[in-house]
Amino acid sequence: MTDDYLNRALSRRRFLKLAGGGIAAAGIAPILAACGGGSSSSSAGTTAASTGAAGETAASGGGEISMWWWGEQEAIGIQKWVDSTLAGFKEESGITVDPLLMDTAAVIPQFTEAAAAGKPPDTQFLFNGIYHMENVWLGYLQALNGLVPDETLAQSGATVLSVYQGKQYRVGWYIVGFGIEYDKRAFEAAGLDADNPPTTWDAFLDACDKIKTSGLIPFSAGVKDGFFGEWYFVNTLTQALDNPSQAIDLFVGNLDWTTPEYYEQWSKLQELVENGFINEDANSLELYQGIQLMETGKAAMTINTTASLPAAQEKLGENLGYFVMPVYGTGAMAGIPITDTQGFGIPTDAKDAAASAKLLEYMHSEERVNAMWSESRALPADEKFDASLIDDAFLKNVYETWWVGDHNAYVADLMPTLFWTDAMFVNSQKILAGEMTGEEAGQNAQDVSEKWVKQNPDIVANYKTWAEDLAAGQ
Amino acid sequence: MAVDEPLVRAEAVPVEPPRRRLGAGRFVRQLLLACAAILALYPVWFMISTAFKSNDQYLDNTYGFPWPLDVANFSGALRGGEFFRWLANSAILTFGSVIIATLFGALAAFAIARMRFRGRDAFLSINVGLLIVPPVVMLIPLFTLYTQFSMVSTYWGVIILYAGLTLPFSVYLLSNFFRAIPRELFESAAMDGASHLTILSRILMPLSAPALVTLVVVNSLWVWNELLIALVFLPDEQKRTLMVGVTVFQGRYNLDVPLTMAGMCLASIPMFFLYLFGQRLFIRGLTAGAVKG
Amino acid sequence: MLKTRPWVPYLYVLPAFCLIGFIFAYPVAQVFNYSFRLIRGNSGPWVGTLNYQLIFEDPTFRSAAKHSLLLLLAVPVLLAISVLVSVLLYERARGWKIYRSVLFFPFILAVPVVGIVASYMFTLNGVVNSLLGAVGIDGPDWIGDSNKALWTLMLVIVWREVGFGIILFLARLLSLPEEQLEAARIDGAGWWSRLRYVILPELRGTIEFYCVIAAITMLAWVFGYVWTLTKGGPGDATTVLELYIYNQGLRNSLPGMASAVAVLLMGATMIFVALLFYVRRRQHEEEVA
């Protein structure tokens, strides 16, 4: 029983921002790792799962670099790949890598603080978009162009959100797709075609209605911690956009949230709530408690990421299905799967940037990319990956649909945190509580965006440049 | 606080119980207390009983009696043995900081309560004002300060930090209690030629035993339960405290309510036993203060 | 007052003064400094009172301040329960020793533990509503309804914090001279009049102390409860000043604004405390003189 939960994949966002009791504050900790007497191997903020950490360093001729990473929390088993990669890298280059598995909430803030103190690691794990772009703007990360071969940069799967002013700051690692998971048995019981889930919003509403009649909760959610709100928001707002840069335009006030097409996602949520398609205790549950309702057979559908699918497979087996958010919007991005990637970068003050670049290149060698699946069952972002290695039909289909085919950027990677706390979080909860309409949600979003611009005049300019880059790149 | 020969004997207990009256008043009192006790204990019972259920039992019936008992949650929570290391770390920090805060607090409170000097009220006001500084805001500058002095990731550094943070409260509480002790006691002792330190250790401390014990208990609980500072100033996993460990634990297992509750129980057991075994001392402290006359 | 050489009191105060100075002086000075700057990382340009203006324009701040003030309503509740229960215990109601231990028990639980346990108990389909359902009551959505979440939060805080009040007042009562009460009893004073004219005046100093502590707890030390129970939601229904400081300072990377709120909080407390001391000194001088 307990092992089952041990193996549950955890979303990065869940913990990134969760930062319970101020875990985020631990961001300051690495400075002390740096000042606390040279040994940066003190496990600042490591999770309890540090048991498998790679063997301690024994300095050999090739030098030593440090790497702060994250990922075992989300893609359970990726540690194995990290260990074998670092061992292989030492054999090949003679360079010892000292890895430190960081806490989810701390991995980025801790890096920022360490970089501010001039003591960052040589290789740093990076989430996509604004999570590392803020550090780029502060001058804490260096462009990889020239350090890492162009071919590796292009194939690594870093996505457009890793590029600013023509420079790339991140290489990709593994993929995280977004969609709706469902229980085929519930679809059959409601008289629906279990192998052809709805693709349009109307068909989706119709399916919800039939499921509700059959006695199950059509769509389960837990919004207390806000992450359901984020996932739902991205899956739906994207449908109104032609280009990710429009999301930035909305956040910085160049576009208006009170335009009906930009608040429609919240009207649709209101519609689901008013029809009774969402569990009524959604407001007192957290994200994964909501997902659990679906996975324990009380609900038919829920929102989830591809990284969690292997864990869901263990519960539902053949009955697990996964589909792209049904479409109502008319933006160019509508109906296309949404996929993000995790990645690595090199800090400006890295002691040995050349060695770190070599490590990134080694991670992206064909053998290592394929090993990510064979050793850890994670889906690599690198284009060199040989997809015929995937021996699970369901996951293979997910990989092909969410990564090989046409896919969208994850627009929450462009979202200022203030928008998260004051608009996205507030709107989703108030709508679920029946206290806000979609239109009011749009008005609140507009107010929050204006407030953010006022509070962060220094960052707005960077955002605007970034939006121009993204618009031009399409 | 060794009290060999109190100048004024705090002869106290057992105080004669006031005569009990029969009738409605007594019944109402019992009813009130019983209700309060049930309300106080129910969440604790929920935590403990849930910890002994399997997840299926819990999902089946959230408030039923846990039968058959399932102890797997506890072994699950204890797996890895980190628990005992967290426990030892928390104990070291609590012990060290509470001693310092109590000692320094008593000295200062004595002067504030019983001597007249310039800046006395200002000092006391500052203490009260400092109570309201949210620790979250002080974190970044405090960390810079600690980095300068190489005090991060050391036990003694964090002990001093906790002692400093609990000191304003300690000064405030003790000066308040010291003030309540009848003036005549000092004045006669001072006339007998007793030194200030003697007055402090032989009169004030014994008479303030309830306050001191209360302070020690409250400060211990505060330090023991503190999360933010422990997390930031002790990033070394070997020095992780119990509360940090528990929070990480809950984040990982929050879907399995019984397993989470087992973790919560384990985290509460040390303070529970301390309270249970310390209760005699605690109560002696409380009643010793019940001075007659 | 004891007569001393003028420097003696300072000697007693010195250790505490030094330690408090070491821990607080620099950080508090920095909080003031930050509140006038646009801080990114560790420093930033001087922006005058901009942070303060931004705060007052921010509706989230206004609702956080409102919720923090509403939480102060818990202070009289805490006070009333602790005084009442401690007096009942002091009168040695049957089994008072057991009650004393039981009623203090919630206070020994850690705040994260209390918040986490309560967050499971108060879900719409949680154990509290199951129990209410068993006796035929349709329970409310304790933490999922914006109109109730703040009261649920207050309930949970009172549940844990009241133990401290009970023990504090009991300790004070036990150090009171019994004769006075006995005399009142023999004079035939009833329970309420004994409470009103004998016990409450004796408890005055402790009540004052406890009110200050409880008010400060409600304003500045409830983060752990909020975070584990509601995360500030639903919507902004349980967003309090402390959470606002946390969000602006750590999540939204605006330590300047967070510091400005902290400065305002400290200022407000200082005024409150100064008033309190002014009143007390006047009373005190009447007594001592």
Q: Each residue of A152-175: pLDDT tens digit? A: 999 999 988 999 999 999 999 999
Residues found in chain A: 474
Look up tokens 């009643």; give the residue.
Answer: B287
Residue C11: Cβ within 10 Å count: 13
Identify the closest residue of chain C to A425 by CA–CA distance.
C235
Q: Using one digit for the tens of pLDDT, what is the confidence trace for A394-429?
A: 999 999 999 999 999 999 999 998 999 999 999 999
Collect all residues of chain B within an 8 Å Cβ-Cβ radius of residue A48: 80, 82, 245, 248-249, 252
Three-class DSSP category at C78: helix
Give the model's pLDDT for residue C249.
81
Contacts 24+ apart (CB under 8 A), B178-187: B178/B109, B178/B110, B178/B112, B178/B113, B178/B114, B178/B204, B178/B208, B178/B211, B179/B113, B179/C205, B180/C172, B180/C175, B180/C205, B180/C206, B181/B207, B181/B208, B183/C288, B185/B8, B186/B114, B186/C2, B187/C2
Asked whether the beta carbons of A359 and A135 are under 8 A apart, the reply is no
H/E segment holding residue A219: strand A217-220
Please give the backbone phi and psi of residue A365, each rounded to the nearest 5 degrees, phi first. Answer: -70, 155
Q: Left, alpha or beta for C179 (phi > 0: left; psi -120 to 50: alpha)? A: alpha
Give the model's pLDDT for residue B195.
80
- Smallest Cα–Cα separation from C264: which of A452, B167, B129, A455? B129
Whether chain C has a CB inside 8 Å of the CB on B259: the answer is no
Instruction: Annotate B174-209 with b (16+ C-beta within 10 A) or e (fewer).
Output: bbbbbbbbeeebbeebbeeebebeebbbbbbbbbbb
Give the model's pLDDT for residue B14.
42
Which residue of C156, C227, C243 is the best one to mutate when testing the A interface, meaning the one whose CB has the most A CBs within 10 A? C227
Q: Using one digit for the tens of pLDDT, what is the confidence trace for B208-234?
A: 777 788 788 888 888 988 877 887 777
- Looking at A194-332, list the stretches that DSSP marks H as alpha helix, in order from N- to C-terminal side: 201-213, 227-237, 244-252, 260-274, 287-295, 309-316
**Rounded CA separation C195/A358 (Å):** 79
Three-class DSSP category at A173: strand
Which residue of C67, C130, C252 is the best one to mutate when testing the A interface, meaning the one whose CB has the most A CBs within 10 A? C252
Provide the pLDDT confidence category of residue C125 given band limits of 50, 70 and 90. Answer: confident
Give the model's pLDDT for residue C216.
84
Whether chain A has a CB inside 8 Å of the CB on C61: the answer is no
Please give the backbone phi and psi of residue B182, each rounded to the nearest 5 degrees, phi first. Answer: -55, 135
Give the model's pLDDT for residue A173.
95
What average pLDDT does chain B have?
A: 78
Question: Partners of C37 in the beta sheet?
Answer: C46
Of A22, A43, A103, the CB nearest to B236: A43
- Residue A49, pLDDT above cutoff 50: no
- Residue C283, pLDDT above cutoff 80: no
Residue A233: Cβ within 10 Å count: 24
What average pLDDT does chain C have?
A: 87
Look up tokens 């307990």; give the residue.
Answer: A2
**Rounded CA separation C221/C226 (Å):** 10
Collect all residues of chain B within an 8 Å Cβ-Cβ radius of residue C183: none
Give the model's pLDDT for residue C260.
93
Residue range A351-368: mean pLDDT, rounded: 95
- Residue A53, pLDDT above cutoff 50: no
Give the model's pLDDT for residue A25.
34
Whether chain B has a CB inside 8 Å of the CB on C266: the answer is yes
- Residue B8, pLDDT above cutoff 60: no
- Looking at C109-177, list the stretches that DSSP marks H as alpha helix, in order from N- to C-terminal side: 111-121, 127-134, 146-174
- Residue A224, pLDDT above cutoff 80: yes
Three-class DSSP category at A3: helix
Provide the pLDDT confidence category of residue A30 given band limits of 50, 70 and 90. Answer: very low
C60/A422 CB distance under 8 A:
yes
Q: Left, alpha or beta for A322 (phi > 0: left; psi -120 to 50: alpha)? A: beta
Q: Using one digit for the tens of pLDDT, what is the confidence trace for C62-119?
A: 999 999 999 999 999 999 999 999 998 888 778 888 898 899 889 889 888 899 899 9
**Rounded CA separation A169/A346 (Å):** 8
Residue range A295-300: mean pLDDT, rounded: 92
Give the model's pLDDT for residue C284.
63
- What does the block give as tokens for A385? 């990956």
- Smallest Cα–Cα separation from C107: which of B41, B60, A172? B41
Higher pLDDT, B164 or B274: B164
Collect all residues of chain A within an 8 Å Cβ-Cβ radius of residue B55: 1
Helical axes B120-131 vs C200-220, angle rounded to 10° = 50
Q: Using one digit for the tens of pLDDT, what is the confidence trace for A328-348?
A: 999 999 999 999 999 999 999
Q: Using one digit for the tens of pLDDT, what is the confidence trace for B166-202?
A: 999 899 888 887 877 777 777 777 777 778 778 878 8
Residues contacting residue A286 through CB under 8 Å, at least 6 positions apart? A222, A224, A225, A227, B254
Give the model's pLDDT for residue A150.
94
Cα dihedral angle (B33, B36, B38, B44), rounded to 10 degrees? -130
Residue range C155-166: mean pLDDT, rounded: 93
Residue range C160-188: mean pLDDT, rounded: 81
Give the model's pLDDT for residue B252.
61
Q: Using one digit for the tens of pLDDT, what is the confidence trace for C17-53?
A: 999 999 998 888 988 999 999 887 667 889 999 999 9
- Smallest Cα–Cα separation from C227: which of C113, C146, C112, C121? C112
CA atoms within 13 A on the CB side of A401: 18
**Rounded CA separation B264/B252 (Å):** 13
Provide the pLDDT confidence category of residue B2 given band limits of 50, 70 and 90. Answer: very low
Cα dihedral angle (B240, B241, B242, B248), rounded to 10 degrees? -50
Residues contacting residue C231 through CB under 8 Å, at least 6 positions apart? A224, A225, A226
Q: Using one digit for the tens of pLDDT, what is the confidence trace for B228-245?
A: 788 777 766 677 888 877
Give the model's pLDDT for residue A454.
92
Asked whether the beta carbons of C6 and B161 are under 8 A apart, the reply is no
- Residue C228, pLDDT above cutoff 70: yes
Give the model's pLDDT for residue B22.
53
- Residue C58, pLDDT above cutoff 90: yes
- Residue A24, pLDDT above cutoff 50: no
Range scoring the smallest mean pLDDT among A180-189, B264-273, B278-287: B278-287
Higher pLDDT, A125 or B251: A125
Give the model's pLDDT for residue A58.
35
**Rounded CA separation A334/A337 (Å):** 9
Cβ-in-10-Å burial (0-12, 13-18, 19+) of A3 comes to: exposed
Give the model's pLDDT for residue A277.
96
pTM (2 d.p.): 0.83
Of A25, A28, A43, the CB nearest to B237: A43
**Rounded CA separation A449/A238 (Å):** 18
What average pLDDT does chain A have?
A: 84
Residues contacting residue C91 through CB under 8 Å, at least 6 positions apart? B18, B29
- Smallest Cα–Cα separation from A283: which of C152, C226, C155, C149? C149
Q: Using one digit for the tens of pLDDT, what is the confidence trace for A142-151?
A: 999 999 999 9
Asked whether the beta carbons of A271 and A445 are under 8 A apart, the reply is no
**Rounded CA separation B200/C261 (Å):** 40
Residue range C136-152: mean pLDDT, rounded: 92
Asked whether the beta carbons of C171 and B289 are under 8 A apart, the reply is yes
Range scoring the smallest mean pLDDT among A26-35, A88-97, A101-110: A26-35
DSSP annotation of A286: -
Whether chain A has a CB inside 8 Å of the CB on C141: the answer is yes
- What does the block give as tokens for B133? 């500084």
Higher pLDDT, A57 or C142: C142
Give the model's pLDDT for residue C285.
64
Three-class DSSP category at A138: coil
Collect all residues of chain C within an 8 Å Cβ-Cβ radius of residue B31: none
Give the model's pLDDT for residue B23.
66
- What does the block give as tokens for C17? 């003064």
Higher pLDDT, B14 or A282: A282
Asked whether the beta carbons of C141 and A281 are under 8 A apart, the reply is yes
**Rounded CA separation C144/B242 (Å):** 30
Give the model's pLDDT for residue A250.
94
Which residue of C7, C11, C20 is the best one to mutate when testing the B interface, meaning the one whose CB has the most B CBs within 10 A? C20
- What does the block give as tokens for C277? 């001391």
Provide the pLDDT confidence category of residue B130 given band limits of 50, 70 and 90. Answer: confident
**Rounded CA separation C112/C107 (Å):** 12
Give the model's pLDDT for residue B285.
53
**Rounded CA separation B161/B278 (Å):** 26
Of C42, C233, C234, the CB nearest to A116: C42
Asked whether the beta carbons of C203 and C83 are under 8 A apart, the reply is yes
CA atoms within 13 A on the CB side of C20: 25
Of B18, B104, B293, the CB nearest to C91: B18
- Residue B13, pLDDT above cutoff 50: no
Collect all residues of chain B within an 8 Å Cβ-Cβ radius of residue C94: 20, 26, 30
Asked whether the beta carbons of A427 and A445 are under 8 A apart, the reply is yes
DSSP annotation of C251: I
Give the model's pLDDT for residue B286.
52
Residues found in chain C: 289
- What does the block give as tokens for B101? 């805060």
- Residue B74, pLDDT above cutoff 90: no
Give the model's pLDDT for residue C6.
79
Asked whether the beta carbons of B265 and B50 are under 8 A apart, the reply is no
Give the model's pLDDT for residue B237.
64
Residue range B89-118: mean pLDDT, rounded: 91
Collect all residues of chain B within an 8 Å Cβ-Cβ radius of residue A25: 136, 139, 228, 231-232
CA-derived radius of gyration, chain A: 22
Asked whether the beta carbons of A176 and A305 are under 8 A apart, the reply is yes
User: Cα–Cα–Cα angle for B118, B102, B202, nearest 5°?
Assistant: 80
- Looking at B61-81, list the stretches that DSSP marks H as alpha helix, in order from N- to C-terminal side: 72-78
